[in-house]
Amino acid sequence: MSARVVITGLGALSALGDDPAALWAGLLAGSWGVRRQAHLVEAGLRVSAGGGVASLPLDLPEREVELGRRAADAALAQAGLSASSVGLIWSAGLDSYQWTSAGLVRRAASACFQALAARHRSPRRMLAVACASGTQTLGEAARLIRSGRLEACLAGGSSTLLSPLYASGFAALGAVALDVAGEAPELACRPFDRRRRGFALAEGAGALVLESEAHARARGAVVLAEVLGFGTSQDAFDLNRPPPDGAGAERCVRRALEDAGLEPAEVGAVNAHGTGTRVGDLAEAAALRRVFGAPGPAVTSVKGALGHAMAASGALEAVVCVLSLGAQTLPPTVNLEQPDPECALDHVLGAPRAASFEHVLSCSFGMGGQNAAIVLRRGPDHA
């Protein structure tokens, strides 16, 4: 019999603050972490909105390493474990801000992973599957624990995308929201809204400690949630857009539910990938409708508030899901004011929604067709 996998520690740095509590409070308040970024304006780009971590200066050496380390340390501290006693599965982006300021090409992703990996004595892996990376780390960690190869593992990701290089690149792909005269930068990302025009760049880090339930109980750890299921798929369709029918996303979600042993009706909430792109939101909504039917579970996206932190987004959103399960509350989708009829779902609009649910699905559907989804169950010890 495979081991049950539970979550015992959380860490998060985002555009809404430097810990999970600040992240959660900001989401419930409908706050904007996305702001106008002066260095992007100075670069003369048509993309100036972004979700930055204000506590870290832009010129701080190894910013991505510091983001990852802080999130990892917080998760380990809450779990009551040392880095040397757990495995590590991590995802990271490239700290391209240092490319443009220093004129150097650096592999900051490797630097971040190596800085964390140096503290761990168990198996260590780095994953890079675009926007699905953070969720993929959680699924892979759960698999290792289920199989008995690990008792505990730190999983998550960190990313710093607020650079002119990234902004111009994603603008060329038509993926980010370009500036609109007279509109506040906070409104750049509008998931599932009829006026959506792309995502807002962001940075951040999310970290979670996963361990076998037996290991957690033996040492008296607080169980916040259980990782019940994991699914992954590949679109094999296009570098920059999903198939219009969302077939790859649908396969991914169905695999996660099958792995969890759940029927669609047993899922009470969905954390959508919800980036605010024209084609991505349409495909995701289509996939969710086919899996869950109508009206389906409540659906929310945090990217209107946080922006899109790529390699870190799935881990950050998993932290939000754990907090949502514990509070039995769903945060609203910030900036979703005019729902697109073609993205018809049970959207959480305007204010937090109190709910009674045991299971939440979190989706990450990445560029290049990489898809990952996890199913979490509410933990018995979550305050």
| Residue numbers annotated as active site | 131, 273, 308
18 backbone dihedrals φ, ψ, rounded to 5°: -105, 15
Here the tokens at position 53 are 């971590």
Here the tokens at position 343 are 């993205």
Task: Identify the three-state secondary structure at position 325.
Answer: helix
Question: Rounded to whole angstroms, how far apart are CA atoms 337 and 331?
Answer: 14
Distances (CA, A) of 69 to 66, 78, 260, 290, 321: 5, 14, 31, 40, 22
Question: Rounded to whole angstroms, how far apart are CA atoms 79 and 368?
Answer: 34
Is residue 23 within 8 Å of 318, Cβ to Cβ?
no
Q: How many helices (H) and strands (E) does the chain have?
A: 12, 15
Question: Rounded to whole angstroms, how far apart are CA atoms 201 and 160?
Answer: 9
Buried b (16+ CB within 10 A) or exposed e, 169-207: ebbeeebbbebeeeeebbbbbbbbbeebbbbbbbbbbbb
Encode 31-73 in three state secondary structure.
CCCCEECHHHHHCCCCCCEEECCCCCCCCCCCHHHHHHHHHHH
Please give the helix or strand (H or E) that residue 320 lies within, else none: helix 313-327
Task: Identify the three-state secondary structure at position 237.
Answer: coil
- To the nearest 10 degrees (0 to 180), the angle between helices 313-327 and 133-146 is 70
- Report how far apart the first and last C-alpha atoms of the chain are (Å, whole number): 29
